[in-house]
Chain A
Amino acid sequence: MDGIHDLGGMQGFGEISMESEEPTFHEPWQATAFALMFASQVVVRSHNVDEYRHSIERMNPAHYLQADYYERVLTGTASLLVEKGHLSAEDLSARAGGAFPLSRPVAPSPMADLSPQLEPRFSVGDRVRVLTISPAGHVRAPKFCRGCVGTVLHRAPKFGFPDVAAHGGTRRKEHTYHVEFASQDLWPGEGSSKDSVVVDLWDSYLEAVNR
């Protein structure tokens, strides 16, 4: 989805604040939220990692931007536990003693119609273009590279295709490629001609570019 999570290249954000000697968790609840996230996937087996990532993408955008990282972790996890019928929203709210905001529902037609690519179509050095898809569900081709042409630097092993795994489609595995885009092709007129962005993209997201 073209959601708030797809932040790459968005303008208007300010300076990055760094903390020296930052601990893994600042507050005990953050460690609990991390444990609940992990346990929901590997012990309860309520949902998979792709559904989990998408549950965070479905948060109210204003809440997403204001929430601490582990608040997003908890909100996505709780939303899926409710959607899958393990917990009830009313019960969570009653236990918490106040409103418990959950993520918005999955879109009715969440997947782009992409042909499965079970055999690798591209090799190192190939020029490829990212398809200009904008499905309403989970997709891991960032907006900033869609429609752009880059060069394959590396072919990685096969990994589960996230769009279908997040939405109960027929599971499949495809190779991913490290595709290098010149920064000035992504944002013409900006930056340095020496700079580039390398995006890790599943085969289905790409098409060949004839030289």
Chain B
Amino acid sequence: MKKQEMASIEQRTQAVRDALLEQGLVTASDLDTFAHMPEDWKPENGAAVVARAWTDPDFCRRLLADATAACAELGYKGPQGEYIVALEDTPAQHNVIVCTQCSCTAWPVLGLPPDWYKSPEYRARVVREPRRVLKEMGLNLSPDIGVRVWETSAETRYMVIPLRPAGTEGFSEEALAALVSREALIGVAMASEPA
């Protein structure tokens, strides 16, 4: 007997949706709410946290002591943000985040993770050859800088506080936040130099 051809992913998704709706196990309004929920989770939130930490030493201390509470001060909390830990880069130590076994991420401050973070390539390689991976991604670290790779294997959700770029003295929080990308919050890029 010929093996039945796989239905497209669109058809399979629709099949689960229709079956759950017909059985009354969920409502269309539930699904609509959950499909739009990620709109509130974005890397701009994490960038605002970093900009505040760069400009307010007291906030930075609170962030390093209890990032969950410090992020909540700015209104950033929710699923996959129950226990956030902030990792501060120094001139001698660079931090980078991965989840090798699935793709856990601090949703409220980083957003849902990008495809590259979820790829088998990143998950397999960055723990074992971080410098080569970072170089391929455009971040060439000096051999003098140590690299710590943080594996999100339990319930801690990490965010990186990158180094504040030179030449940004007197910048507003808003201007500073614009220099912090999702990639910088994960640790595969530095904060951008000011234009």
Q: Using a CB–CB distance below 8 Å, which chain A residues touch chain B?
A: 5-11, 13-19, 22, 24-25, 27, 29, 31-36, 38-40, 43-44, 53, 56-57, 65, 68-71, 74, 77-78, 81, 86-87, 91-93, 95-101, 140-142, 144, 154, 156-157, 159, 162, 176, 178, 180, 183, 186-187, 190-192, 194-202
Known: A78-B12, A92-B12, A99-B6. A7 touches B124 (CB 8 A): yes
- When distances are taken between beta carbons in the complex, the residues of chain B under 8 Å from A25 are 38
Question: Which 10 A-B pairs rank lowest in CB-CB distance, beginning with the nearest?
Answer: A98-B7, A8-B100, A96-B7, A95-B15, A200-B154, A35-B34, A194-B146, A96-B15, A35-B35, A31-B35
Name A19's closest neighbour in chain B (CB-CB). Answer: B115
Residues of B near any A CB (own CB < 8 A)? 3-20, 23, 25-26, 30-39, 42, 83, 85, 98, 100-103, 111-112, 114-116, 118-125, 127-131, 133, 136-137, 143-156, 183
B116: which A residues are within 8 A, CB to CB? 16-19
Instruction: Report Cα–Cα, A27/B5, bound state, in Å.
Output: 22
A97 touches B146 (CB 8 A): no
How distant is the Cα of A35 from the Cα of B150 in the complex, in angstroms? Answer: 28
Out of A35, A78, A196, A199, name the residue touching B146 (CB < 8 Å). A196
Is the Cβ of B125 less than 8 Å from the Cβ of A34? no
Residue among A14, A16, A57, A176 with the most chain B CB within 10 A? A16
Tell me, rounded to whole Å, the shortest Cβ–Cβ distance linking B15 to chain A.
4
Q: Are A200 and B151 in contact (CB under 8 A)?
A: yes
**Number of inter-chain CB pairs below 8 Å:** 247
Given A19-B116, A142-B153, A195-B131: 7 more A-B contacts, CB < 8 Å: A11-B124, A16-B119, A96-B11, A98-B6, A194-B144, A194-B147, A198-B149
Taking a contact as CB atoms closer than 8 A, the residue among A93, A99, A190 that contacts B3 in the complex is: A99
List residues of chain B with CB within 8 A of the CB of A99: 3-7
5 A-B pairs (CB sep. < 8 Å): A18-B116, A33-B13, A87-B16, A99-B7, A100-B7
Give the Cβ gap from B14 to chain A, nearest Cβ, in Å.
7
Neighbour of B149 across the interface among A11, A17, A196, CB < 8 A: A196
Q: Hey, which chain B residues are within 8 Å of A201, CB to CB?
A: 153-154
Asked whether, in the complex, the Cβ of A142 is within 8 Å of the Cβ of B100, the reply is yes
How far, in angstroms, from A142 to B149 measured CA to CA in the complex? 14
Q: Which residues of B contact A7 (CB under 8 A)?
A: 100-101, 120, 123-124
Q: Which of B30, B101, B114, B147 has the most CB of A within 10 A?
A: B101
Note all chain B residues with C-beta closer than 8 A to A157: 83
- Distance of B9 from chain A, by nearest CB (Å): 5
A47 to B30, CA, bound (A): 17
Judging by beta carbons under 8 Å apart, are B124 and A13 in contact? yes
Cα of A53 to Cα of B15 in the assembled complex, Å: 21
Contact B128 A16 (CB under 8 A): no
- Residue on B with the closest CB to A187? B128
A78-B16, A92-B19 known; A16+B149 contact, CB < 8 A? no
Assembly CA distance A53 to B154 (angstroms) = 12
Complex CA distance for A98 and B12, rounded to whole angstroms: 9
| Chain A residue with the shortest CB-CB distance to B102 | A53
In the complex, what residues of A have CB within 8 A of residue B152's CB? Answer: 200
CA distance A178 to B103 in the complex (A): 18
Contact assessment for B122 and A16 in the assembled complex, using a CB-CB cutoff below 8 Å: yes
Smallest CB separation, B127 vs chain A (Å): 5
Q: How near does chain B come to A196, taking the closest CB pair, in angstroms?
A: 5
CB distance from A156 to the nearest CB of B (A): 5
**B11, B39, B128, B144: most-surrounded residue (chain A CB, <10 A):** B128
User: With a CB–CB cut-off of 8 A, which chain A residues contact B127?
Assistant: 8-9, 144, 186, 197
Contact status A100-B121, CB under 8 Å: no
